[in-house]
Amino acid sequence: MKYFIYLICGLTCLCTGPTKVIACTNILVTKGASTDGSTMLSYTYDCEVHPNLRYVRAADHHPESSVEKIPIYRTLNGQVKQAPHTYAIIGTSSDNSLDGGLGLINEHQLVICETTFYGRSELINPQGQLRYPHLMTLALQRAKTARQAIGVMAEMVDKYGYCSSGESFSIADTKEVWILEMVGPGPNAQGAIWVALKVPDGYVCVHANRARIAQFPMNDPENCLYSNNVISFAVEKGFYDPDSAVPFSFTDAYCPELPKHRRYADLRVWSVLRRLAPSQNFSDDYIRRVDGAPPYPLWIKPDKKVSVADMFSLMRDHYEGTDYDMTIGIDAGPFGTPNRFKPTKWTVDNTDYTWNRPISTFHTAFSIVSQSRDFLPDPLGGLIWYSVDDTYTSCYTPLYCGINNIPNCHVVGSRDKFSWEFSWWVFNFVANFANLRYSDMIKDIQPLQKHIESNLLALQPTVEKTALELASSDPNLMTDYLNDYCVTQAELTVSRWKELGEFLIAKYNDGYVRDQNNIPQKAGYPQTWLKKLLELQPDKFRIPTEPNN
C-alpha cells in the first residue's frame, strides 16, 4: 500500500469548537488562467495555532466494522460510517482518524480550501455532527474530482448534519475549479443549504470571509449545482420574497451585508482583482460605500496568466501602493510595519474603529499554494507549496503527493515551548523580531526568500523530469527521489531561516544597526516619522537655544 503525506496541524481551534477561524483568504485559478496549465488554489489559514506534519497511508476498510469517530466540540460525539476504501490525503489531524481533521489535497490531486463567513447565526445547528474541516477530509477521502467532492459533502450533511456557520469552499481537480458555499438549516435540523459554481476556464476567483455567490443559473448542471431547498428554505424563513421583482441571491439571503464586510472582506477581494487585472481599473468605491457602486465580480479574466510565483506574491499583499497601504502612516510606526495587533476593532471615546485586514498577516498558522496538473501522473502532478507563519516573511517549499516521509522540522515541537528545531517557531521568531525595525529588516529577509523560492521554481521542471525517468523503471525510485528532495529542501530552508534569525539579532541590537564592517551605527528614526511626531508635539522635544530664566 502506497504511503502519502498527511499534513498534520495541531489545530486546537478545529477540535474544541468555540474558537472560530474567520480570517482566511482563497484565490482560485483555472487551467486556462495559469501559465503552465495547472489549476491552482491558495489558502491562508489565519489562526493562532501552530502546524505539525506527518503522513498516513490510503486504506481499505471492512464495510461493517470500521467506523470513524469524530468528536464534535468537547461534549458531542458523532460517528461516520467508513468507506470501503479511503484515498491518501494531505491534511490536518490528531491521529489516523478524522479527529480535528482538515483535509487539503488527496492522491488524485483533488484540493479543497476554505474561508469562513458567519452568515445568519440562527442557521447554525449545534446538533449537527459535521463541521467544515470534517467535510473537507471526508470529501478528499472519497472523491477523485471536484464534482464528486461536492456530491460527497452534500451527502454527508444530509446524513449526519452540519454544525458550522457559513463556509466558502474552494475545490479544484486537474481540470475544473469550483466555489461551493454552504450554510446550516438551524438547530435540530438535518442537511444544509448550498450552491456551487464552476469557475469558467481562463478566469480567476477570490473569496475572503464573505459569501460571494449572488445569482446563479437554475438549469445548468454542467456549471451549477445546488441543494433542492436553496430558495424554498429562504422563502420559508422570510429571507427572500418570491413575489418581489428582485432575483434570488444566495449571499443576500444567507449572508446579508454587515457594516464590517466591505472593509474586512471585500477589501482583500478588491486588492487581488486590481492586481490581476489592472486594465479593468477596479475602483475602491464599493469599499468606501459610495452610493451605486457595484459589488466586485465573482470571477475575472486576468490581464496575463498567473504563475506560482504570482500566487506567492498575491499572498503577501498589504495593499502596498494604494490608499490602504499598511506600511505607511503613523499606524505603521516609525519603521513601517504592516502588522496591527488584535483586536481588529477598537473603541476610543465611544467611537468604533477598525484596522484594515490584509491578505498577509502575522497570525497565519500555515499557507499553501496548490498545483494540480493533468499532464503528469498523480504522485508528481499534485503538490502543495507549503509555508508556516506570516506569508510576507516566510518561504514556500514543495511537498509532492508521492513522498512517504516528511521533514522532521515540521514535526517536532509545540506552541507551548520555543524551539529552534521546529519550523513554526523559526519563522515566527524572524517575523516577530522584524517588527522592531521592519523597514530595515525586511530588506535582509526578502533577498533570501526570493533566492530560495526562485531556485526551487527553476528546479521544478528538472526535478519532475528526473522523477518521471525514475518512475519508468521503478515507481519506488521516484518516491524515494521526491522524498529526499522535499525533505532536504524543507530542512535546508528552515536551517537557513534560523541562521537569518541569528543574523538579525546580531545586526539589530539595542537600537544600533551594524554596518557592512560590522560596526554598530546609531541608526535612529526615519525623518518622515520624526516630522509626524513633531507635528503632534512640536515643542516637547525641542532643545532650548537660550537658558531658561
Confirm whether 34 is domain-assigned: yes
DSSP string, 437-485: GHHHHHHHHHHHHHHHHHHHHHHHHHHHHHHHHHHHH-HHHHHHHHHHH
Q: Rounded to an integer, what distance in angstroms lies between the CA atom of residue 25 and that of residue 4?
A: 26
Going by the DSSP 8-state scheme, the letter that residue 99 receives in this structure is T
Q: Is 75 exposed, middle or buried (0-12, 13-18, 19+ CB in 10 A)?
A: exposed
- The pLDDT tens digits for 345-375 are 889 999 999 999 999 999 898 999 999 999 9
C-beta of residue 246 within 8 angstroms of C-beta of residue 214 = no
Number of Cβ within a 10 Å radius of residue 109: 28
Tell me which residue range forms the domain holding 69: 3-354
Contact assessment for residue 213 and residue 298, using Cβ atoms and an 8 Å cutoff:
yes
- Beta carbons of 89 and 107 less than 8 angstroms apart: yes
Neighbours of 325 (CB within 10 A): 16
432, 512 in Cβ contact below 8 A?
no
Q: What is the DSSP string of 215-231?
A: S--SS-TTTEEE-TTTT
Give the number of domains in the chain. 1
428 by DSSP, 3-state: which?
Answer: helix
Whether residue 470 is contained in a domain is answered as: no
Beta bridge partners of 397: 386
Stated pTM of the model = 0.93
- Cα dihedral 260, 263, 269, 273, rounded to 10, equals 150
448, part of any domain: no
Distance of alpha carbon 175 from alpha carbon 374, whole angstroms: 7
| Three cell numbers written together for 185 | 438549516
Inter-residue long-range contacts of 286-292, CB under 8 Å, 24+ positions, other chains counted: 286/262, 287/262, 287/263, 289/262
Positive or negative torsion for Cα 130, 132, 137, 142 = positive
**355-391 per-residue burial string, b: 16 or more CB within 10 A, e: under 16:** bbbbbbbbbbbbbbbbbbbeebbbbbbbbbbbbbbbb
pLDDT score recorded for residue 156: 95
Which single residue is written with the C-alpha cell 506574491? 313
Q: Answer whether the bond into residue 343 is a cis peptide, omega within 30°.
A: yes
Give the DSSP H/E element, type plus range, for residue 56. strand 54-57
pLDDT value for 11: 38
pLDDT of residue 67: 58
Amino acid at 121: S
* φ, ψ (nearest 5 deg) of residue 146: -65, -40
Q: Please tell me what DSSP assigns to residue 162.
A: B
Is residue 86, in this structure, part of any structural domain at all? yes
Separation of alpha carbons 255 and 258, rounded Å: 9
Short-list 254, 22, 236, CA closest to 122 = 254
The dihedral over CA atoms of 432, 434, 438, 441, expressed in degrees to the nearest 10, equals -170
Please report the pLDDT score of residue 9 as a whole number: 38
* pLDDT tens sequence across 81-118: 888 999 988 776 544 444 555 788 899 999 999 999 98
Domain membership flag for residue 156:
yes
Q: How far apart are CA 186 and CA 122, in angstroms?
A: 6
Q: Is residue 540 part of a domain?
A: no
For residues 237 and 256, what is the distance between their CA atoms, to the nearest angstrom?
14
Q: How far apart are the first and last CA of the chain?
A: 90
Cell 504592516 -> residue: 338
**pLDDT by residue, tens only, the chain of 549 residues:** 333 333 333 333 343 333 444 579 999 999 999 999 999 999 998 877 767 777 767 889 876 655 566 654 333 456 788 889 999 887 765 444 445 557 888 999 999 999 999 889 999 999 999 999 889 989 999 999 999 999 999 999 999 999 999 999 999 999 999 999 999 999 999 899 999 999 999 999 999 999 999 999 999 999 999 999 999 999 999 999 999 989 999 999 999 998 888 999 999 999 999 999 999 999 999 999 999 999 999 999 999 999 999 999 999 999 999 999 999 999 999 999 999 998 888 899 999 999 999 999 998 989 999 999 999 999 999 999 999 999 999 999 999 988 888 888 888 877 788 999 999 999 999 999 999 999 999 999 999 999 999 999 999 999 999 999 999 999 999 999 999 999 999 999 999 999 999 999 999 999 999 999 999 999 999 999 999 999 999 999 999 887 665
400-427: burial string, b at 16+ Cβ within 10 Å, e else: bbbbbbbbbbbeebebeeeeeebbbbbb
**Local structure of residue 521 (DSSP, 8 states):** E
Residue 463 inside a domain? The answer is no
206 occurs within a structural domain = yes
User: What confidence score (pLDDT) does residue 46 get?
Assistant: 85
Question: To which residue does cell 466591505 refer?
Answer: 262
Q: Which three cell numbers stand for residue 403?
A: 513522498
